Amino acid sequence: MKRAFRGALIPAILLVSWEALSRAGILPMDTLSRPSAIVRAGFNGFADGSILLATWQTVEAALTGFAVAAILGILFGVILGLSPRLERVVGPTVDALRPVPAVALIPLSLLLFGFGLQMEGWVIVFACLWPILLVTIAAVRGIEPRLLELSRVLQLGFAARMRKIILPAALGRISVGLRVAISISLVVAVTVEIVLNPRGLGYGMIIAQQTLHPDLMYAELVWLGLLGWALNVALERTLARWPGGSDSGAMRGRL
């Protein structure tokens, strides 16, 4: 309690002095707004539902793209991780595609899909895929060879081997890639919206800025920060629960 209070001290001082300097006319209202106005704009945005709708659109795109990237990345990552020979074939292609900045694909995606969820989603998939894929390959390579031998001695079938040995053994490292990717997904979603997709929080911010409503823009910015934090926490909670029940606690610290 005392610690939380100490941590909140500096932000509180900054906010109070921001408000005071703004009211005294020292800080310009048209660019820096003021905390009370930002709170009011945010409140209005929530009250009329516009922020909630935009939030849903942004989160929908980010999570859909993230989920598709996670499925593809883990699937191909496990396959390539288990087969060094295949990795030697596919590796150069991956290395060639990976450095392409995802946002550079926005024009292409627009051509293919037009405005809307799909064009945004596929750019996010492209951006999130690489960290998940590469980390999964490394994670599967790093599995203790004894455990793989054990699965052979026990004659586990492919599905059982995946579920009981490979995925739980690799999940600790894969989760690092997933956490990087979930942050990327939100960054790319907002970027696509700011650049040209007329939906979501990014679009809301650019409209607020262009219509001289910096207070609303700030409110959405703060909200996006909270959203990013919430997505990370939600992901961590989900990962901690896998592969089930009481066993997860010990795993988190270990792998």
- 169 lines the binding site for other proteins (CB under 8 A): yes
Sequence-separated (6 or more) residues with CB below 8 Å from residue 68:
121, 125
- 180 lines the binding site for other proteins (CB under 8 A): no
Q: Which lies closer to other proteins via its Cβ, residue 101 or residue 157?
A: 157
CA dihedral for 102, 82, 158, 164, sign (positive or negative): negative
From candidates 53, 150, 207, 221, binder to other proteins by CB under 8 A = 150
Residues 10 and 38: their CA atoms lie apart, in Å, by: 19
From candidates 154, 222, 234, 240, binder to other proteins by CB under 8 A = 154
Residues 115 and 21: their CA atoms lie apart, in Å, by: 42
Q: How far is the CB of 175 from other proteins (least distance, A)?
A: 13
- 153 lines the binding site for other proteins (CB under 8 A): yes
Site string for other proteins, 101-140 (x = CB under 8 A): ----------------------------------------
Q: Write the DSSP string, 41-85.
A: HHHHHHHTTHHHHHHHHHHHHHHHHHHHHHHHHHHHHHHHHH-HH
Q: Which lies closer to other proteins via its Cβ, residue 94 or residue 156?
A: 156
Q: How far is the CB of 17 from other proteins (least distance, A)?
A: 50
- 85 lines the binding site for other proteins (CB under 8 A): no
Q: Which lies closer to other proteins via its Cβ, residue 171 or residue 186?
A: 171
Sequence-separated (6 or more) residues with CB below 8 Å from residue 90:
80
- 95 lines the binding site for other proteins (CB under 8 A): no
From candidates 168, 177, 202, 204, binder to other proteins by CB under 8 A = 168
- 152 lines the binding site for other proteins (CB under 8 A): yes
Residue 26 has which token pair? 């020292």
CA distances from 229 to 21, 220, 222, 232 (A): 30, 14, 11, 5
What is the total count of residues that contact other proteins (CB under 8 A)? 24
Candidates 128-136, 152-160, 182-190, 223-231; binding stretch for other proteins (CB under 8 A): 152-160
11 preceded by a cis bond (ω within 30 of 0): no
- 241 lines the binding site for other proteins (CB under 8 A): no
CA distances from 102 to 97, 109, 124 (A): 10, 10, 7
Longest dimension (CA), the chain: 77
Q: Which lies closer to other proteins via its Cβ, residue 24 or residue 250?
A: 250
Residues 156 and 209: their CA atoms lie apart, in Å, by: 59
From candidates 2, 3, 6, 146, binder to other proteins by CB under 8 A = 146
181: closest CA among 124, 110, 240?
Answer: 124
Q: Give me the residues that bind other proteins (CB under 8 A), please.
A: 144, 146-147, 149-150, 152-157, 160, 164-165, 168-169, 243, 246-248, 250-251, 254-255
